[in-house]
Amino acid sequence: MGGGPVLKAPQPQQPRRPTITQSPRTMIQVTINGILYLVDQRPVAGGSVQIQDHVPSQPDTSLSPATILNVKGTLIDGEWLKAEIGRMDSNDDVFNLGFTTLVLFTSGEGSFDITPDGEQYLRSLGASWSTSLVSAGQIPSGPYIRTIHMALWSHLQSVEVVCRPQWRLHTTSDPDLKYDPFPFDLIPVPSRLYFDPPTAEKPLSGLRLAIKDIYDLKGVRTGCSVRDFLCLYPPANESAVSIQKLVNYGAVPIGKTKTTQFASGEGTMDWVDYQCSFNPRGDRYQATSMSSVGSAAGLASYDWIDSSLGTDTFGSILWPAASQGLFGLRPTHKILDNSGVLRLSEHLDTVGHFSRSVDDFFTLGQAWFKGTAQHPFQLPKTILFPTQFWEPYQTEWFSPIVEKFIQDLERVLGTQRIMHDIETDWASTTLPPCDIPLKEYLATTLSTIQLYDCYHNNAKFRNDFETANGHSPYVNPMIRFKWNLGARLSKECYEDALERKRIFNDFLSSNVFKPDTIMLLPLGSPSPIYRDTYRGSPEETGKRMQGFGFGSVSFTALGGLPQVAFPIGQYSYKSSITNQDEVLPVVISIVGAKHTDLSIIKIIKHALEETQRPTAVSTGKVTFPDLVGV
Q: What is the pTM of this model?
A: 0.89
**pLDDT at res. 23:** 43
Please report, as a single letter, which amino acid is at residue 509: S
- Asked if pLDDT for residue 154 goes beyond 90, the answer is no
- Asked if pLDDT for residue 145 goes beyond 50, the answer is yes
**pLDDT at res. 177:** 53
Return the axis-axis angle of helices 445-457 and 477-487, rounded to nearest 10°. 110
pLDDT digits (tens, 9 = 90+) for 197-214: 999 999 999 999 999 999
Burial of residue 326 (number of CB atoms within 10 Å: 0-12, 13-18, 19+): buried
**pLDDT at res. 8:** 28
**pLDDT at res. 581:** 96
CA 94 to chain centre: 20
Average pLDDT over residues 463-468: 98
Average pLDDT over residues 176-189: 68
Pairing relationship of beta strands 19-22 and 27-32 according to DSSP bridges: antiparallel
**pLDDT at res. 42:** 62
What is residue 150's three-state secondary structure? Answer: strand
**pLDDT at res. 305:** 96
Give the range among 25-34, 353-362, 496-505 with minimum mean pLDDT: 25-34
% of the chain surpassing 70 pLDDT: 84
Pick from 165, 177, 140: nearest CA to 46:
140
Pick from 612, 607, 609: nearest CA to 589:
607
What is residue 239's three-state secondary structure? Answer: coil
**pLDDT at res. 105:** 86
Average pLDDT over residues 295-315: 97
- Asked if pLDDT for residue 58 goes beyond 60, the answer is no
**pLDDT at res. 433:** 83
- Asked if pLDDT for residue 173 goes beyond 50, the answer is no
**pLDDT at res. 536:** 83
Give the range among 40-49, 70-79, 347-356, 481-490 with minimum mean pLDDT: 40-49
Cα–Cα distance for residue pair 295/232, rounded to 1 Å: 24
Residue 563, strand partner residues: 330, 591
**pLDDT band at residue 153 under the 50/70/90 scheme:** low
Pick from 555, 566, 558, 615: nearest CA to 591:
555
Average pLDDT, the chain: 86
Which stretches of 349-476 are DSSP H helices?
358-368, 387-390, 399-413, 422-427, 438-441, 445-457, 459-469
- Asked if pLDDT for residue 178 goes beyond 80, the answer is no
Which stretches of 78-124 are DSSP H helices?
78-91, 116-124
**pLDDT at res. 143:** 87
- Asked if pLDDT for residue 172 goes beyond 90, the answer is no
Residue ranges and CATH numbers for the domains of the chain are: 19-150 (no CATH), 158-368 (3.90.1300.10)
Please report how many Cα atoms fall inside a 13 Å half-sphere around the Cα of residue 214, on the Cβ side.
30
**pLDDT band at residue 102 under the 50/70/90 scheme:** confident
User: Which of residues 257 and 171 earns the better pLDDT score?
Assistant: 257
